[in-house]
Amino acid sequence: MDEIEKSTLPDSYVLMNKMGLDENEVARRKDWLEFTPDDEARLLELNEMAQGYATEVIEALYEHFLKFEDTRKFFENPTVLSRVKNLQKEYFLRLTKGDYTKNYIEERIKIGAVHAAIGLDVKWYLGAYNYYLRAVGERIFKAFKNNPDQALQAFFSLTKLVYMDIGLAIDTYIFQREMTISKQQEAIRELSTPVLQLREELLILPIIGAIDSQRARQLTEQLLHAIRDKRAKVVVVDITGVPTVDSRVANHLVQTVDATRLMGATLIITGLSAEVAQTLVTIGVDLSKINTVGDLQGGIEAADKILGIPVTGKHDDTLTSTN
């Protein structure tokens, strides 16, 4: 791994904490898999044997990787290939070294994060584990030829550990994607609520996209603070870009109107589409308290009237109701 790549990777320790993987959680995971100290002892016993066949298994695994175009592209560089082979071997032997505690978990998280970062899909990752288990299982049963019961127990211990590793790695994948999603949602929210000052004492808030309750709350809070900070007297909220307005959103609009009035300002809503207007009347939302004007232009003209600025356009007064 070169330096640049290293620095862009999330710190696995921080990641582990964020994912809530403390000692209790790790213990819960082990309990769920019925991973006991006996398993740990059985895995330790396998270590010597594993050292014998590690290289062989790793070579076979990478041959398998190179057979498929989707996985081959990760190993086109021969130095990368030999480095990951070494890391893989290290991991392979680590499986039978015991002490499956904090450090072990942290390493697994790191591996998950690396795989997520290079964009290796989960299916290849799972397939590789499957290959692993088959290759090792075969060798274990061969080694304990006279004691199949012991072989089975040892194999089961290995399976439990491998499943724990898979669980950790996949959780890391999911966690990182969720972090990306929430970051993007945040960015969208920030972008989608610009409060613009058109002239002194007049603010415009064009709303684009669907409104859920979280966004509605944020919109209102932002708007109310802008009213105070910019000393606005009139606010025009344009909802042309809102595809649907249900009773919840309508109710929120009413609340915003009330809160604006409590602060001593006036709110005008524009851009209610024909569909939205019909829906609101059909579901019986009481919007009698709200100033609505057909379009943004009309809204600004109505606002100018309240502000005492002479309207220059030829537009008729389209204000349907005033407080």
Partner 1 sequence: MKVPILKQGNILIATIQSALADKDLINLQNDLSHQVIQYRANGVVIDITELDVMDSFSTRTLRNIASILKLRGANTIIVGMQPDVAYAMVQLGLTLPDIKTARDLEEGLILLHS
**Applying CB under 8 A, which residues contact partner 1?**
220-221, 224-225, 227-228, 231, 233, 255-256, 258-265
Longest dimension (CA), the chain: 101
Residue type (1 letter), 237: V
- H or E segment and range at residue 45: helix 37-67
Residue in the structure block whose two tokens are 């960015």: 187
Strands (E), 97-216: 196-199, 202-208
User: To the nearest whole angstrom, how small is the minimum distance from the Cβ of residue 270 to partner 1?
Assistant: 21
- Euclidean distance between CA atoms 78 and 15, whole angstroms: 30
Show the tokens assigned to 320: 């349907």
User: To the nearest whole angstrom, how small is the minimum distance from the Cβ of residue 3 to partner 1?
Assistant: 47
User: To the nearest whole angstrom, how small is the minimum distance from the Cβ of residue 286 to partner 1?
Assistant: 13
Q: Which residue, 77 or 197, has its beta carbon nearer to partner 1? A: 197
Show the tokens assigned to 49: 């044997």
Q: Which residue, 227 or 272, has its beta carbon nearer to partner 1? A: 227
User: To the nearest whole angstrom, how small is the minimum distance from the Cβ of residue 311 to partner 1?
Assistant: 21
Do 268 and 303 contact (CB within 8 A), yes or no? yes
Contacts 24+ apart (CB under 8 A), 143-151: 143/49
Show the tokens assigned to 45: 């016993």
Q: Which residue, 28 or 228, has its beta carbon nearer to partner 1? A: 228
- Euclidean distance between CA atoms 254 and 288, whole angstroms: 9
Q: Which residue, 142 or 228, has its beta carbon nearer to partner 1? A: 228
Q: Which residue, 192 or 220, has its beta carbon nearer to partner 1? A: 220
User: To the nearest whole angstrom, how small is the minimum distance from the Cβ of residue 195 to partner 1?
Assistant: 12
Local structure of 303: helix, strand or coil? helix
Residue 145's Cα: distance from chain center in Å? 48
Q: Which residue, 45 or 221, has its beta carbon nearer to partner 1? A: 221
User: To the nearest whole angstrom, how small is the minimum distance from the Cβ of residue 259 to partner 1?
Assistant: 4
Q: Which residue, 135 or 224, has its beta carbon nearer to partner 1? A: 224
User: To the nearest whole angstrom, how small is the minimum distance from the Cβ of residue 221 to partner 1?
Assistant: 6
Residue 315's Cα: distance from chain center in Å? 48
